[in-house]
Amino acid sequence: MMASRNHRDLDSRSALQSESFRIRLNTLSPLLRKRFSKLTHIERIFYGTVAVAALFLALSLVFVRMRVLQFQSSTNNLRIEMTNSQTQIDQYQQTLNELTSNGKAGQSAVNAGLTSDANNILKASK
């Protein structure tokens, strides 16, 4: 009779009928009850401390990983910004080279009515 009562307490249909999903303490296996009842107060404190420490370590690990991902994201944003800045510098340099090239300068001088004399060109050297 005791075995059928324990089975009925754990049965989901009877739990639905009685609207109770609690598993009673007497439905635990006798071996587990015996093992938990033999723990001393200090052992319970020790195991509780270990469980809290494990939870703390898990939360710390999640926090550290989130900070690493945040750092990687900011680093990638800075790299993108540096690449865009370097591209803009390269474009400015190319525009400057085009404007100061001999052909453009000579064309601008001719349009302004000036002439160029190759003998007047001096080269700087170290």
Task: Report pLDDT digits (tens) over 36-88.
Answer: 677 788 888 898 899 999 999 999 999 999 999 999 999 999 999 999 999 99
- Answer whether residue 116 shows pLDDT above 60: yes
SS3 113: coil
> How many domains, in total, are found in the chain?
1
Task: Say which residue, 19 or 94, is predicted with more confidence.
Answer: 94
Contact 116, 106 (CB under 8 A): yes
Mean pLDDT confidence for 27-38: 67
Expressed as residue numbers, the domain containing 52 is 10-104
The verdict on residue 2 lying in a domain is: no
What per-residue confidence (pLDDT) applies to 40? Answer: 80
Global pTM? Answer: 0.45
In this prediction, residue 30 has a pLDDT band, given cuts at 50, 70 and 90, of: low
Contact 115, 109 (CB under 8 A): yes
The verdict on residue 120 lying in a domain is: no
